[in-house]
Structure 1
Amino acid sequence: MTGGRRDKVQSIRESWIATAIVIGVLLVCVFTFMFPHGFFTPKSPIQIRRTDTPNVQTGTCESPEHVNKLEADIASLLETNAGLKKRLAEQGQDNTQKQVMVLGDQHKVGPFGTVKALRTNPTVVPDESVNPRLAKMLEKVAVGKELIVALANTYVKDMLEIWFTSIKRVGVTNYLVVALDDQIVEYCKTNDVPVYKRGPEEVIDSVARSGDAHAVSGLKFHILREFLQLGYSVLLSDIDIVYLQNPFDHLHRDSDVESMTDGHDNMTAYGFNDYFDEPIMGWSRYVHTTRIWAYNSGFFYIRPTIPSIELLDRVVDRLSKQPNLWDQAVFNEELFFPSHPGYEGLHAAKRTLDFYQFMNSKVLFKTVRKDDKLKKMKPVIVHVNYHPDKLPRMKAVVEFYVNGKQNALDAFPDGSGW
């Protein structure tokens, strides 16, 4: 009995304590709500005297020192942000914004399988001020703002005759010879061939005097720039080429550069999967690579776009600094090498032309002339680029494809004699 009474008293006592705690918490909440600043709030705000600006009063707001510091920090951040934007622009890292400005509005993505990226870059705005004399000539010569252009000096006069005769034969009228000496000017005029000679620039005069084929080949990139600035597409042609069809009927015009290839079959011309073997690596000894044979810098179609002009500028710049470089190697490196640390690659669209239509002399003499079916096809051009005996082989090409002499190609070896 005694134990039960003691437990009952203990239970009542604990309930009183719990009740007192609850009442205390409620009172605190009520007073906190009714007197948020306490029982003894000063009747006037506390005055804080600053040594530099006397008589400035602050109440519940931030102090002037704090406000000034925040404003200074914001100004500093804005300045830093502006500097970053400027540096990004200078470093060429705002390419996305630039492309939006050039290409126009953004577009929504269509259904699966229907999405196609932009294939053709817009052409530049023509600037006739760069060469008014050439601009007037191109107005007369070009057709549809495009033409064939070739550089020539006296050393290639015999091949030049086969070149322009074949062009006339297929009905092409929009072509132009850039003469590197006065003898070629007179020779072209005598044969009713459109000709243009630049002013007496030192680099052109030296190339004309030397007659060096590689020097002439490198010079064309320098000269081509003005044609593109004037808004014309150019089919750049070496002289060791025989035209058998109108090349303008076989271009796609969907890229910045369309070029014939040094490749001789589907793999070498259009790309193939190759591998590098390093046995020391064991399981990973084979590293796969993607390869393509070089574009031929002696025959390519180039449109007047920003990437095209940038390509020419890059090639000219490198050749001017290292004259011993081969222009075709530089042309391909700048066209294909991707961006990597310390180097920004060229963003240019490119197309490889059909190697049976735009045929190099390796394809002709090593393969086509030995195949009865392939012999019946007439290519658009034949470029005698693989062989040093260019003139006799050009004559043989004319005999075979134009005059129908079936054994005209038989006497030549597959390769060169040395």
Structure 2
Amino acid sequence: MSGRRDGSLFRTTGSAFRGSRLAVAVGIGILLGFIWAYLYPHGFLRSSGPNYVNAVSHPSSQVSSCESPERVKLLKSELQSVRETNANLRKQVRELSSKVHLSEQGQHNAQKQTSTLETQVKAGPIGNVKSLRTNPTILPDESINPDLAELLQKIAVKKELIVGLANYNVKEMLEVWSDSIKRAGITNYLVVALDDSVAEFCKSRGVPVYRRDPADAISKTVGKTGDNHAISGLKFHLLREFLQLGYSVLLSDVDIVYLQNPFNFLYRDCDVESMTDGYSNMTAYGYDDVSDDPSMGWSRYAHTMRIWVFNSGFFYIRPTIPSIELLDRVVDRLSKENAWDQAVFNELLFFPSRPGYEGLHASRRAMDYYLFLNSKVLFTKFRKEPKMPSYKPVIIHINYHPDKLPRMKAVVEYYVHGKKEALKPFPDGSEW
């Protein structure tokens, strides 16, 4: 330090010699400072210098000397709090990053599905062009019903199963229904019990059962009234959960007798694959029905398309967006109208888009009506055919007749126990 000060002195003295009065004054001041330092070697210059250097060189010592222990303790506590806050923030960032990753993964899968649908291709030779019939399945969401998801993992086979709804009113038919399923060797089936008596009945007979929450508003209504139409409306509401969980469902009324495993006869190439109420090739699969209006003269004949309805008591539905939209639309219509669920089901499947209405874009298939037999075909045609005993349908649905239980039992007697006279006592139609 003395060397630097000497240099300052020489520079100042040199400037004084160049005639600057101000420089001379500064030089005199500096000279007096040296004299003072010589006379008082332990003065402020010596004491403050080392402290200044020490403060610059070792800042921690200055803090140590200036801060009280309480202040240091407080600072350490605040530092620990900041560290904990940072740790929590890092944890939240990791969780958010994980959610973003899952979201991006879902978006990527959706984009893959979309790109698959939107891939542009050239039209091939005549007769070799086919449009997309099978919509991609949705990503499962087990969060909507974890208990049901866990149960379905144990029951379903290849992500598909039979589902039937039942309350105490149909307990006897449920017994015939479940026994026929077991006899056909089907294991992937489930009864959705709408009251405790059915749940206990299923458990006592070893039938897989899922008990609906009794506090559910819809379950309360169905449980009290036991109305078949109320149950029919509820099934569309419940089916949505199964589809959201990623399962294909063969929805089944309990007035059905199973003779073979229906999963061996499904095509699985459409959103909805349903049995038909038709009783011939024309009624089951559609035909051109010509309407005649003589007043129109030359254009008196108008062509119309006709098909007997799909049966909403037995259909296979895949977990696709159009399928879920179908269920949502049915539930919405039934909540606003006093309508028959089967009529609404078919209107939504078949009515086209028009001004003011956007039609449903769902693919559909009619089941073979000789394999998936309705009771009109059975009692008006089949039982009168000589070759009938050698033919075995997949299922028989007693949908055309109100005396369901005795006809179901007769079907079992005929096809299972070989009693050839079992179907004869019944009329073709129903007696009012």
TM bracket, shorter-chain basis: 0.7 to 0.9
State the Cα RMSD in Å: 1.3
Match of 1:279 in 2: 294
Match of 2:222 in 1: 207
Alignment of 1:282-301 (within 5 A): 282-301=297-316
2:139 aligned with 1:125, yes or no? yes
2:195 aligned with 1:181, yes or no? yes
Alignment of 1:80-229 (within 5 A): 100-101=114-115, 103-199=117-213, 200-229=215-244
Bigger CA drift: 363-372 or 277-286?
277-286
Q: How far off its partner does 1:204 sit?
A: 1.2
Whole-Å separation in 2 of the counterparts to 1:208 and 1:380: 31
Amino acid across the alignment from 2:197? Q
Summarize deviations over 1:178-212 as a string: whole Å, max 9, x none: 00000001000000000001222111111111111
Paired residue secondary structure (2:283): helix
Q: How far off its partner does 1:100 sit?
A: 5.0
Match of 1:241 in 2: 256
Whole-Å separation in 2 of the counterparts to 1:102 and 1:417: 55
Whole-Å separation in 1 of the counterparts to 2:134 and 2:237: 24
Match of 1:326 in 2: 340
Is this contact kept in 2: 1:121–1:256, CA < 8 A? Answer: yes
Whole-Å separation in 2 of the counterparts to 1:375 and 1:319: 42
Amino acid across the alignment from 1:395? K
Summarize deviations over 1:272-329 as a string: whole Å, max 9, x none: 110112111111111011110000000000000000000000000000011x200000
Whole-Å separation in 2 of the counterparts to 1:402 and 1:162: 12
Whole-Å separation in 2 of the counterparts to 1:99 and 1:287: 42
Whole-Å separation in 1 of the counterparts to 2:129 and 2:320: 24
Report the structure number with the largest CA radius of gyration: 2
Whole-Å separation in 2 of the counterparts to 1:290 and 1:375: 35
Amino acid across the alignment from 2:354? H
Whole-Å separation in 2 of the counterparts to 1:284 and 1:218: 43
Is this contact kept in 2: 1:269–1:352, CA < 8 A? Answer: yes
Name structure 1 gaps, 5 residues minimum.
1-96
Whole-Å separation in 2 of the counterparts to 1:183 and 1:352: 36
Amino acid across the alignment from 1:197? R
Whole-Å separation in 2 of the counterparts to 1:101 and 1:253: 22
Amino acid across the alignment from 2:333? R
Match of 2:266 in 1: 251
Whole-Å separation in 2 of the counterparts to 1:376 and 1:108: 49
Whole-Å separation in 2 of the counterparts to 1:309 and 1:372: 44
Percent same amino acid among aligned pairs? 70
Is this contact kept in 2: 1:361–1:383, CA < 8 A? Answer: yes
Whole-Å separation in 2 of the counterparts to 1:151 and 1:302: 16
* TM-score (ref. length: structure 1): 0.75
Match of 1:390 in 2: 404
2:429 is aligned, of 399, 415, 418, to: 415
2:246 aligned with 1:231, yes or no? yes
Amino acid across the alignment from 2:383? R
Question: Which one has a larger percent helix, Structure 1 or Structure 2?
Answer: 2
Q: How far off its partner does 1:373 sit?
A: 2.0
Is this contact kept in 1: 2:113–2:136, CA < 8 A? Answer: no
Amino acid across the alignment from 1:185? A
Amino acid across the alignment from 1:316? V
Paired residue secondary structure (1:405): coil
Q: How far off its partner does 1:98 sit?
A: 11
Amino acid across the alignment from 2:371? Q
The aligned length equals 321
Whole-Å separation in 2 of the counterparts to 1:240 and 1:397: 11
2:282 aligned with 1:267, yes or no? yes
Paired residue secondary structure (1:372): coil
Whole-Å separation in 1 of the counterparts to 2:125 and 2:155: 46
Is this contact kept in 2: 1:368–1:375, CA < 8 A? Answer: no
Summarize deviations over 1:12-50 as a string: whole Å, max 9, x none: xxxxxxxxxxxxxxxxxxxxxxxxxxxxxxxxxxxxxxx
* TM-score (ref. length: structure 2): 0.73
Q: How far off its partner does 1:145 sit?
A: 0.1
Paired residue secondary structure (2:319): coil
Is this contact kept in 2: 1:100–1:106, CA < 8 A? Answer: no
Residues 219 and 308 of structure 1, relative CA distance in 2, 3 Å threshold: same
Q: How far off its partner does 1:231 sit?
A: 0.2
Is this contact kept in 2: 1:259–1:301, CA < 8 A? Answer: yes
Match of 2:4 in 1: none
Amino acid across the alignment from 1:122? P
